[in-house]
Amino acid sequence: MKFQIIGDDMQAIVMNLEKGERVTAESGAMMYMKGDITIDAELRGGILGGLKRALVKESLFMVNYDAKSDNAEVAFAPSYPGHIRKFSLNGNSMICQKNAYVCSVGNIETDIEFTKKLGFGFFGGEGFILQKIKGEGEVFIHAGGNFVEKELVEDEYIDVDTGCIVAMDDTVDYDIKSIGNIKTSLFAGEGLFVAHLKGPGKVLIQTLPFSRMAGKILGAVQGGRGEVRGAAGIGGSIIKSIISG
């Protein structure tokens, strides 16, 4: 299957399909399609699998695009600016933030990943659940801004802003680490916690998390200071959760 990633800072992916080829994507990711293509919404993993996906606020259904003739074309675009990269899985798996997956080709399964540490769930910014992608095939992952890739050897570690994590190998151990006090959080512009990632394995980082961009936009609209982080950010998140029910 041929594909082309187009654009500079707001990328999309165009898949060129021959008869009998299939692409699977998140619901709502399609930008356009051309040629004889059938669309089928699939509840992967049955009702339980759909409910798991609902826990990470993803659509209950995945969408299959099947080419019924040669020279068919379908394109997908993420919901916010950034870049797309292809990764090959050969029976292994990777852990992603819930908005990273765009589409895949081959025998690829998406599932939820319950985080290993309670601290990561409470303070990690993504809740108790991340997304796990496994199988054999090609996976296309989106990052806000640009990708930064770090390859960690055994026992090597890196501390990352929790919102900046895109994906990591399932061999990487992760936990939450405090980096300062409330004063640091309020006046230094940094959060109270970072993700502590320890190798071996690959870590993918994004330069512009959606939450950071949304915070700047919200701050500009409200006439405030922009992004609110740290203790104030945690309080704001709690209030928003209570309001939304």
Residues of the chain with pLDDT under 70: 44-60, 114-129, 180-191, 224-245
Confidence at residue 231, expressed as pLDDT on a 0 to 100 scale: 46
Residue 22, exposed/middle/buried by CB under 10 A (0-12, 13-18, 19+)? Answer: middle
Distance CA 30, CA 225 (A): 35
Please report the pLDDT score of residue 190 as a whole number: 55
pTM, entire model: 0.78
Is the backbone of residue 101 left (phi > 0), alpha (psi -120 to 50) or beta? Answer: beta
Supply the pLDDT for residue 221.
Answer: 82
Catalogue all structural domains in the chain, each as residue range(s) with its CATH number.
2-224 (3.60.160.10)
The pLDDT of residue 56 is 56
pLDDT at 226: 47
Q: Please, what is the Cα angle at 235 between 232 and 237, to 5 degrees?
A: 110
- pLDDT at site 175: 83
Average pLDDT over all residues of the chain:
81
Which long-range CB contacts under 8 A does 190-193 form with residues at least 24 apart?
A: 190/161, 190/229, 190/230, 191/161, 191/162, 191/229, 191/230, 191/233, 192/123, 192/230, 192/231, 192/234, 193/119, 193/123, 193/124, 193/162
Look-up of token digits 């928003």: 240
First to last CA, the chain: 44
